Amino acid sequence: MRLTDFWERMERQLGPAYADSWARDYVIEGLGGRTVHQALEAGEDTKVVWRAVADALRLPPSER
């Protein structure tokens, strides 16, 4: 998954104004206790990060 696709999904789920804030502040256990931004900056694959976000947001299978 391209990074632009990842951010489009984030904005679709959380809204453009809130997606970046949530990604900076919300710690996800599935990412080793890191935020989305920390995981991406550490080089984590966007698919792995998206799966962790989808789990944290409890998204239905159709949105994963």
Query: pTM of this prediction?
Result: 0.92
Q: Are the CB atoms for 15 and 21 separated by under 8 Å?
A: no
Structure tokens at 56: 């944290």
Q: Are the CB atoms for 6 and 46 separated by under 8 Å?
A: yes
pLDDT tier at 63 (50, 70, 90 boundaries)?
confident
pLDDT of residue 64 exceeding 90, the answer is no
Q: What is the mean pLDDT of residues 10-30?
A: 97
* Residue tagged 């919300």 (tokens): 26
Sign of the Cα pseudo-torsion (28, 34, 13, 21, in order): positive
Of residues 24, 22, 6, the one with CA closest to residue 14: 22
